[in-house]
Copies of this chain bind each other. A is one copy, B any other.
Amino acid sequence: MANRKEPGTDLEPAAGNGLLHRRVFLGAGAMAGVLGAAGMAHAEPLTVPEWVTKPGKRPLPYTQPSPFEGKVQRTIPDQNPLYEPGSAAGRTPHQFLEGMVTPNGLHFEVTHNGVPDIDPDKHLLVIHGLVKRPLKFTVNSLLRYPLTSRFHFVECAGNSGALYGANPVKGTVQQLHGLLSGAEWTGVMLSTLLDEAGIDPKAQWLLAEGGDATGLTRSIPLAKAMDDVMIALYQNGERIRPNNGYPMRLLVPGFQGNMNIKWLRRIRLTEGPMQTRYETSRYSLLLADGKAAQYKLQLDAKSFITRPSPGYQMQGAGLYEISGLAWSGNGTVKQVEVSADGGKSWALAALSGPVLPKMLTRFRAPWKWDGGPAVLQSRVTDDTGYVQPTRDALLLARGAKAQYHFNGITTFQVAAGGEVSHVYA
Contact = CB atoms under 8 A, between A and B. Distances in A.
Interface residues of A, number: 129
Contacts of A244: 63
Contacts of A103: 103-104, 235-238
A51 B321 contact: no
B98 A237 contact: yes
Contact of A62 (B74, B135, B364): B74
Contacts of A362: 149
Contacts of A344: none
Interface in A103-140: 103-107, 109, 111, 113-120, 122-124, 126, 128, 133-138, 140
Contacts of A49: 118, 122-124, 211, 265
A416 interface: no
Contacts of A151: 354
A87 B196 CA distance: 51
Total copies of the chain? 2
A118 B57 CA distance: 12
A354 B356 contact: yes
A114 B234 contact: no
Interface string A225-262: 00000000111111101111011000000000000000
A82 interface: no
A105 B238 CA distance: 9
A275 interface: no
A67 B119 CA distance: 9
A192 B25 contact: yes
Most buried by B among A59, A105, A119, A136: A59
B241 A65 contact: yes
A17 to B, nearest CB: 19
14 contacts: A29-B195, A31-B145, A32-B195, A36-B144, A37-B135, A38-B137, A44-B134, A65-B239, A98-B237, A99-B184, A101-B237, A103-B236, A144-B319, A354-B354
Interface of A: 4, 25, 28-32, 35-42, 44, 46-47, 49-69, 72-74, 76, 86, 88-90, 96-107, 109, 111, 113-120, 122-124, 126, 128, 133-138, 140-142, 144-149, 151, 184-186, 192-193, 195-196, 198, 211-213, 215, 233-239, 241-244, 246-247, 263, 265-266, 315, 319-321, 323, 352, 354, 356, 362, 364, 366
